[in-house]
């Protein structure tokens, strides 16, 4: 029961560790822990890409090359071709970059002691803003600025209802980057808080046994085994979530691109 009494304070400390603390400089002009791991993820992405290109052959060999090629083909077939359609080829580099960047960020964040760049709302907001600018640009390029704005209203709706629907569509359009940013951030941040909470529970129950070995403390530490087991299950789930969130973000980006370039609604 003593472990439960210490839990609120430990959780508060855990949450504070996920704040954007500067590692170089200050919050006004410096690098936070999330910015640092974001840069590390970008470097890892470049290493993965250049290594893959260098090792790629007509017949893929090795776990690394086959694994990366599988993911590339997955984004190409399932997302680019499957969602964007006939215009998929010009958008594939953008979609693949978004997917791998988010995926590597998410996976790096699952390594103990590291933080995911996608665990900061600033990072996910930047990704969402870039995606928003990207599909609006191609929508305007395809239809012209006025034509794109007009295309937001569905064809065949009479006045004045079409004006009302157009306003709703504009509002929906402006909400897209917000929902993209919040969805990715909340899933990654919440997952790490949950894992951290179970890790704290395991350590709190095991702490008396580590300080003094006795039969009573050993009995009191037994719940730690359950917390560790749950933690491992959650960790496995988070590995899946890391992939799913990268996939969902990329699919939604592809959907928005397809809608922006569609001839009419």
| pLDDT value of residue 24 | 64
The answer to whether the CB of 249 falls within 8 A of the CB of 83 is no
Q: What six digits make up the tokens of 147?
A: 């034509």
CA distance 263 to 231: 49
- Mind listing the pLDDT tens digit of every residue in the chain (265 residues)? 455 566 566 666 666 666 666 666 665 666 777 888 888 999 999 999 999 888 877 677 788 888 889 999 999 999 999 999 888 999 999 999 999 999 999 999 888 777 778 888 888 999 999 999 999 999 999 888 888 888 887 776 667 777 888 888 888 899 999 999 999 998 888 887 787 777 777 777 666 655 656 666 566 666 777 777 888 888 888 889 999 999 999 999 999 999 988 865 5
Nearest residue to 134 (alpha-carbon basis) of 257, 28, 246: 257
Backbone φ, ψ for residue 32 (5° rounding): -85, 170
The answer to whether the CB of 257 falls within 8 A of the CB of 98 is no
- pTM for the full model? 0.84
The answer to whether the CB of 79 falls within 8 A of the CB of 15 is no
Please tell me what DSSP assigns to residue 23.
E
| 3-state DSSP helix/strand/coil % of the chain, to nearest 5 | 80, 5, 15
| pLDDT value of residue 218 | 61
Nearest residue to 198 (alpha-carbon basis) of 58, 2, 52, 14: 14
23 contacts: CB under 8 Å, gap ≥ 6: 30, 31, 32, 33, 36
148 cis-preceded (ω within 30 degrees of 0)? no
Quote the distance between the C-alpha of residue 182 and its chain's center. Answer: 10
The answer to whether the CB of 201 falls within 8 A of the CB of 144 is no
Checking 167-173 for CB contacts under 8 A at 24+ apart, the result is: 173/136
The sign of the CA dihedral 213, 214, 217, 221 is positive
Backbone φ, ψ for residue 23 (5° rounding): -105, -25
């Amino acid at each position: 029961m003593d472990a439960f009494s210490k839990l609120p304070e430990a959780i508060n400390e855990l949450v504070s560790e996920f704040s954007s603390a500067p590692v170089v400089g200050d919050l006004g002009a410096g690098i936070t822990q999330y910015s640092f791991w974001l840069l590390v993820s970008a470097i890892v992405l470049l290493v993965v890409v250049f290594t893959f290109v260098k090792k790629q052959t007509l017949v893929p060999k090795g776990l690394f090359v086959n694994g990366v090629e599988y993911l590339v083909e997955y984004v190409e077939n399932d997302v680019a071709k499957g969602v964007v359609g006939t215009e998929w080829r010009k958008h594939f580099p953008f979609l693949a970059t978004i997917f791998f960047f988010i995926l590597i960020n998410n996976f790096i964040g699952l390594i103990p002691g590291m933080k995911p760049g996608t665990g900061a709302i600033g990072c996910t907001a930047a990704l969402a803003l870039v995606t928003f600018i990207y599909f609006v640009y191609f929508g305007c390029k395809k239809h012209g600025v006025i034509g794109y704005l007009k295309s937001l209203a569905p064809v065949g709706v009479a006045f004045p209802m079409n004006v009302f629907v157009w306003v709703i569509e504009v509002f929906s359009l402006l909400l897209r980057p917000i929902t993209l940013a919040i969805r990715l951030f909340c899933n990654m941040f919440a997952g790490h808080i949950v894992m951290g909470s179970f890790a704290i529970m395991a350590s709190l129950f095991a702490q008396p046994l580590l300080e003094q070995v006795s039969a009573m403390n050993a009995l009191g530490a037994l719940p730690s085994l359950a917390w560790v087991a749950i933690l491992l299950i959650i960790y496995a789930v988070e590995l899946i979530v890391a992939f799913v969130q990268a996939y969902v973000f990329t699919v939604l980006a592809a959907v928005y691109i397809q809608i922006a370039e569609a001839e009419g609604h």
